[in-house]
Structures are given as structure tokens and as C-alpha cells.
Structure 1
Amino acid sequence: MDTAELDAYLRRLGAEHPAWPTLDVLRELHLRHLRAVPFENLSIHLGEEIVLEEKQLLDKVVGERRGGFCFELNGLFGALLAALGYDVTLLAARVYGEEGRLGIPYDHLALRVRTVDGGDWLADVGFGANSHYPLEFEERGEQEDPGGTFRVVEADRESGGREFGDLDVLRDGKPQYRLELRPRALGDFVAGAWWHSTSPASHFTQSLVCSRVAEGGGRITLSGRTLTVTSAAGDREVTELATDGEVLAAYREQFGMELGRVPEVGEGRRVR
């Protein structure tokens, strides 16, 4: 990431160039990213190829002011942090699904980030509803966050996690995903991204989602033609959008995204 690309990315987040890679800066960038860059799977339903390479991700997230899902968002955020002087390690994870079942290998990408003043932190701007701030990596007790109460704990031995040093990330007592501690490269996640964008078993191919953290701490989500605005207190306002014009206006006004057409579930496979 060259200087011009770095500056453009920071402008996308509304952030200044920091002097040092500190914990306070990491916390600020993490929250700004969640507010500015939506978690979305629209490429799957627009027939757009998902390429896990830095230049293509910069073009999409910064140039086109789009979002993405975990591999794209955390992959690019990790590159930004590394360019700012942070020690960043990409980690693979498997997401807990129904009945506590773990998903495929390389199901999710998260970041282990070392700051100059605050130890190691778990950063994740690509998991939808998650912590607003990085979690302390070595802390095993409860960590309070605007997004809930989180814990990072050793994985259960009976399920084969502890012997490998795996960690489970819990939100409000419910397991979210299991982290492997072995360092990975962005290219390692290509198969996971392909599966999630093509498999009928992936929830990403079955539904549309575009979501971000709101300025007041709540969440704004557009799922298909349903716009849901949730306050920090949990109050929800749901609006059904009747026309394509209303849907495109919601993408523009709520997420800053200019789309040429309304994405529809399954349409992407026909476009390809």
C-alpha cells in the first residue's frame, strides 16, 4: 500500500494519519471502519468476482466506496494497519452455526494486532454484529463493549480445540467462532471465499445483507428490501421498500454506495 493509497483509505474512514501505532489509534480506526465500511455480500448477487488481492480490494472499498465480507474487510484492514506500523497476523477461524456446529476451514478471517503500547488485540471489522472495539487477546475474563459482553477463551478439549491452542470467541455467552493461532496469508482464504460465494450451503448465497454500525452506536441493515434501523438501546424501526428506486436510494443514503441496479438473490450466478 503506497502513501497515496494509505491516505485515501484513511480519508474513507474519516481519520487522520496517526503518529504512532498505539492502542488508542487502533480503537479509533476499528470503530471508524465499522461505521464507514459496510459488511455486505452484494458482489455475490451482482455477478462481481471477489478477488483477495490488495489492489482489487482497495479499488472496491476505497475507490468504489463499497464494503465486503470478512476476507475482504479484515484482509484490507490488516494491510492498512501494517502500513501504519502495527504488527499484524492474519488468523483463520471457523464460525459456529446451528446447534453449535463449526463451519468449514478458513470460514472466517480475523486479525491479531500488536500495538507499541498495549500488547496484543483481536481486531475484527468483518463479522457483522460484533465488538465495536478490539478485544484484548490474552484476557480470559469478560470484556464489556458497546456490541455486547465478550470473552476470548481456550477452546474445549473434547472438541479438539485446546490441544492445538485454539481459542473460542464468545458474545453474551454464545460462541461466535473458533480461532486458530497459526499465522496465515491472505491467499490462504481464497478457497473459503469461493465456497461462501458459490455454495448453495452458504448463507451468503441465500440472502442479501448490507450492514454497518450507526453513529449513535446502533446498527443500520438493509436485507433485500427490508431496511432495519436499530438504536443503541435495542429499539427497532423496520421499513419495507417498495420500489427499486427506494432500494437504490437506501444504499446511497445509508451506506454511501452508488449501485447501477438492485441486487437480487441468485442473480449473480445468472450474470456470470
Structure 2
Amino acid sequence: MNDLDAAFALSGADVKAYLARLGLVGPFPPTAETLRLLHRAHLFTVPFENLDIHLGRSIVLEERRLFDKVVREGRGGFCYELNGLFAGLLRALGFEVTLLAAQVAGQNGVFGQEFDHLALQVDVGEPFLVDVGFGDAFLEPLRLQPGLIQREDLKTFRIDQEGEVWTFWERRGQNPWALQYRFTRTPRDLAEFMSMCDYHQTSPDSHFTRAPLATIATPLGRVTLRGSCLYTTLQGCRNERTVTPEERPALLHQYFGLRLPQLPDEC
């Protein structure tokens, strides 16, 4: 464990509060079953959201600020915040965690820059890909085994390997396989993601600066509020409706547990 990892350590009281945020009460031994339980609870409880960017608030990758935002204030965040903080919880519970740098695949086939996305490798008997900061993806950790088909509800996942590069693929129903991101298993420090974290919250080329977003998994699907559009997915069927600026604060609280001031009217 390096100096940054040592500084990014949660106390016993922090762990208890974090578990309470997830609706859980420990103790939890560092097992594969615990990892699956925590992963699902996180995705059902903590929204993926970029709202601070559209409220003009800086996102800083510092342990206490991440903890206060997600746990004390009941907020969510994007990948650097959610996976960065989740790594701290897992380590405090005794898991072996490695931060991974990933590049997200765009619709045009072009990958994002290095450190475009933060994912986790958790070793518990075998390595797992863990990601509570990628929006609508897998609910349970995926085994890091090349070519293994892993099914979950209406989705199918696959992780391939070519040399040092690993790729994460998703298939929905009978649709073609879609590449989500690529990564290496080189261990990273949280500080290495700070430059891209700044980019994603300031650059007009970042999709996070284009519209406010909040999305969360539900037992039967997902709810997403993007700008003034509300999307609800139930067992694979998606509905969409436009919401007024006056409705959005109540919807943010109803679906995501968020209490925030008015956001810019974007969709």
C-alpha cells in the first residue's frame, strides 16, 4: 500500500456510517458474497450523478470531501468519486483492491483519454472487476476471466484480453456486443486521475458538462433524470417524459434522495 492509499483510509466510525448509507449493518467478512452484497447495495442506493458540475461546485478527489458528500450529505457522484470512495470502504473491510485506469469507448469507436474512467479490481480468491461508477452497467462484480460469458437479467457481459489490454463488453437482449471500455491491470493511485477529473468537470468536450444527470438502478430497472428528461426503465421497457423545472427538485428527492437547488434547464 502506497502513501496515498494509506491516507485514504476510513475509520471504524466511517465504515459504520458508510454501511448505514447503503442500508446495511456489519460486520462483513472480506468474501465474494460480501463483495456482491456491497456492490448491489451501492448501485441501488447511491446515484451516479454529475450535478455539482452544473451547480458550479468543484469536485476534488480528497477522502474527507468524498466521504462527506456521499455518506454525510447523501449524495452521489461520478466514477472517480464513487469508485474512489468504494475502494476505501472495501480496503477498510479487508479486501485487496487495485485502482484501474480505463478508457471509455465512444459511439464513433474512438476511446477516451487515459484515466478517462476509474474502475476497480478486487481480489478475493480470484480477481473481480468492480465498478459502481459507470451508470447503467453490471449489478454484481464480474469475474476477470477472459472470454467468460456472464449473464445478469436481460444483459450479458464478457471481458476479453489481448496482451496487457483488457476489454469490457456488454450485450442487451439479442443486440450485438457493444464495447464499453478498455483497461490494463496496472495498479494506479487516485492522484493519477485528478487531471482527467478536472477535464471532465470543465471541458466543453466532456459529456458531463453538457447536461445535468442523475441515474440509479432499481430492483426492476433504472430511473434517469437528464436535464429536463425523465427516463424510467422497467424490465427492459423504457418510458420518457419531459419534466418542468419546477418538478425537478421533487423528482431528484423522490427517485435519488437528493435535495438540491434549481439546476439549469437542459436536456
Regarding TM over 0.5, the answer is yes
Give runs of aligned pairs for residues 163-174 of structure 1, distance below 5 A.
Answer: 165-172=164-171, 173-174=177-178
Give me the identity figure in percent.
Answer: 44
Q: Which runs of 5+ in 1 are unaligned?
A: 156-161, 266-272
| 1:185 correspondence with 2:181 | no
Question: In the aligned structure 1, how far is the partner of 2:170 from the partner of 2:245?
Answer: 36
Matched letter for residue 69 of structure 2: K
Instruction: Determine helix, strand or coil for the equivalent of 2:157.
Output: strand
Choose which of 193, 200, 207 in structure 1 pairs with 2:204: 200
What is the distance in 2 between the residues matched to 1:149 and 1:39?
21
Deviations 1:169-195 (A, max 9, x none): 001121100111110011110011011
Report runs of 4+ in structure 1 exceeding 6 Å deviation.
none
1:34 is matched with which residue?
A: 43
Q: Residue 223 in 1 paired to residue 226 in 2? A: yes
Note if contact 1:18-1:25 (Cα within 8 Å) is conserved in structure 2: no
Give TM-score scaled by structure 1 length: 0.89
Partner SS for 1:11: helix
TM-score by length of 2: 0.91
One-letter amino acid of the counterpart of residue 127, structure 1: F
Which structure shows the bigger proportion of residues in strand conformation?
2
Q: Tell me how far apart the structure 2 counterparts of residues 250 and 9 of structure 1 sit (CA, whole Å).
A: 24
1:20-99 matches, cutoff 5 A: 20-99=29-108
Q: Which amino acid in the other structure matches residue 262 of structure 2?
A: R
More helix by share: 1
Q: Give unpaired runs (5+ residues) of structure 2.
A: 1-9, 172-176
Kindly state the Cα deviation for residue 263 of structure 1 after the two structures are TM-superposed: 4.3
**Structure 1 CA distance for aligned equivalents of residues 113 and 263 of structure 2:** 30
Tell me the C-alpha RMSD between the 2 structures.
1.3
Q: Note if contact 1:46-1:264 (Cα within 8 Å) is conserved in structure 2.
A: no
Aligned to 2:133: 126
Amino acid across the alignment from 2:254:
E
User: Are the equivalent residues in 1 in contact too, given 2:245–2:265 (CA < 8 A)?
Assistant: no
In the superposition, relative to structure 1, how do residues 143 and 5 fare at CA in structure 2: closer, same or farther (>3 Å)? same
Residue 204 of structure 1, CA deviation: 0.7
Distance 1:205 1:262 in 2: 13
Deviation readout 1:104-147 (Å, 9 max, x if unpaired): 110000000012xx411100010111111100012422111236
Q: Counterparts of 2:242 and 2:107 in 1: how far apart (Å)?
A: 28
